Amino acid sequence: MRALDIQYMWQCLPEIMRGIPYALLIAVVALIFGSILGLVTALIRIFKIPVLKQISAIYIAIIRGTPLMVQILVTYYGIPRLLEWVNYKWGTNVSINSIPAIYFMFFCFSLYTGSYMSEMFRSCIQAVDPGQLEACYSVGMTTNQGLIRVVLPQAFSTALPNIGNQFIGLIKDASLAFAVAIPEILGRAKIVVGRSSKFLEAYIVAAIIYFVICTICQFALDYIEKRNGKYTRRK
């Protein structure tokens, strides 16, 4: 009896790799919308906008205080229930069954990412010398112009390593989407396991795929950081 069936691992590799687009899509969409949500929330808290500041604080506390798996399950089962109530209450005819499950994951992972990106952006923006925004006012810029042209570019440069780490984390976190039947990498591995019962081989293949993807992303992010550092020094 062999410890590992290497031949079987090669055979199931293409099947498990079919889940890569789902994992990357969830990570990219969540990073984009989560960054937008996080930036808006960070600015609300920095400028202490009434009501919205309290709502933002509650949102961040709830998301950061509950496990991602729980958020996935609440989103997956809660949104259809909400849509059913809307159909009943307002007489609409939203087809719940026609909505792909991955859209629920986009929503859930974006909220999850936004809560962490908010704190990251807030710290990076506050790390920029306040005198720079005052200098913008002295040359006739508005607050929005000062933020867009001066403050946010510097904050983004500071936040770049953390954004990269968040993206790599999202790729790995996307494995939790298998719980709601999203056929990403781990989901594909479970399908393979269901046909063969070779648990160890399938999960090792999934682990190798995650490792390779994350390593490639890390090298790409390191390159971007170096280029960004050279550009910043030239300025």
Q: Does residue 137 surpass a pLDDT of 90?
A: no
Q: What is the pLDDT of residue 42?
A: 94
Domain ranges of the chain: 1-19+183-235, 25-177
Q: Does residue 94 surpass a pLDDT of 90?
A: no
CA-closest candidate to residue 132, choices 145, 121, 122: 145
For the whole model, what pTM was predicted? 0.89
Q: What is the pLDDT of residue 96?
A: 78
Q: What is the pLDDT of residue 232?
A: 52
Q: What percent of the chain shows pLDDT beyond 90?
A: 54
Q: Which fold has domain 25-177?
A: MetI-like fold (1.10.3720)
Q: Does residue 171 surpass a pLDDT of 90?
A: yes
Average pLDDT, the chain: 89
Q: Which residue reads 């109530």 in tokens?
A: 85
Taking only the tens place, the pLDDT of each residue in 10-39 is 999 999 999 999 999 999 999 999 999 999
Plot region of 77 (φ>0 → left; ψ -120 to 50 → alpha; else → beta): alpha
* Residue 151: DSSP 8-state: I
| 3-state percent helix, strand, coil for the chain, nearest multiple of 5 | 85, 0, 15
What's the pLDDT band for 229 if we cut at 50, 70, 90?
Answer: low
Which whole number is the average pLDDT over 58-85?
A: 93
Structure tokens, 199: 């648990």
Plot region of 181 (φ>0 → left; ψ -120 to 50 → alpha; else → beta): left
What's the pLDDT band for 2 if we cut at 50, 70, 90?
Answer: low
Strand, helix or coil at 152?
helix
Q: What is the pLDDT of residue 230?
A: 54
Which whole number is the average pLDDT over 85-107?
A: 86
Q: Does residue 71 surpass a pLDDT of 50?
A: yes
What's the pLDDT band for 224 if we cut at 50, 70, 90?
Answer: confident
Q: What is the pLDDT of residue 231?
A: 46
